[in-house]
Amino acid sequence: MLEEAVITLGDAHARDAAFAEFFGVEYPRVAGYCFRLLRDEEAAHEAAQEAFTRLYCRWVRTDDPRPYVFRIATNLVYREWRRRSRPQPEVDAADAPDLVNELAVRAAVAALPRRLREVVVLFYFAELRVGEIAVALDRPEGTVKAQLSEARGLLAQRLGGTA
């Protein structure tokens, strides 16, 4: 009985060490991803921390943690966007053209159907590969590729470009 407890404790330490290593590598990426979408450092860190907290609770049951943590972070960003409803950023006159372009892209992405918006956000903002997105969203890779193509076409139409 005591040997089982020691083995279990050793396994727990190994799991914690693996999580700590994953956290050290991926936290800056997840926080940066959240910041690019929220443009608020504090909110970005809160979302990233919450995403890793939720991941830790499911660490032993998660086969591929990277797409999973980005999926959680994406949902938290969506929740923050809904909470804010319509953010009113302070604009420096020198930054106005860039901000207008960024807001137009953000509005175009937000107007996509959810199935396409999820793929676009994970591919372009989280910089996940197609295979990682497929795992995160539980969709076949071919479906993810088709949805990326469809989303690109819609975004090109909405932003005045060509597909």
* Predicted local distance difference test score (pLDDT) of residue 141: 95
* Predicted local distance difference test score (pLDDT) of residue 85: 63
State whether residue 126 is helix, strand or coil: coil
Task: Provide the domain count of the chain.
Answer: 2
Beta carbons within 10 angstroms of residue 94's beta carbon: 7
Answer yes or no: do 105 and 84 share one domain: no
Beta carbons within 10 angstroms of residue 5's beta carbon: 9
Which of 51, 79, 53, 57 is closest to 136 using CA atoms? 51
Answer yes or no: do 1 and 63 share one domain: yes
Over residues 114-141, mean pLDDT = 89
Against a cut of 0.85, is the pTM above it? Answer: no
Asked if pLDDT for residue 163 goes beyond 60, the answer is: no
Predicted confidence band of residue 69 (pLDDT cuts 50, 70, 90)? very high
Write the pLDDT tens digit of every residue in 16-56.
899 999 999 999 999 999 998 888 899 999 999 999 999 99
Answer yes or no: do 3 and 51 share one domain: yes
Q: Which residue has the higher pLDDT, 104 or 63?
A: 63
* Predicted local distance difference test score (pLDDT) of residue 152: 92
Last residue of a domain, one of 88, 123, 153: 88
* Predicted local distance difference test score (pLDDT) of residue 79: 87
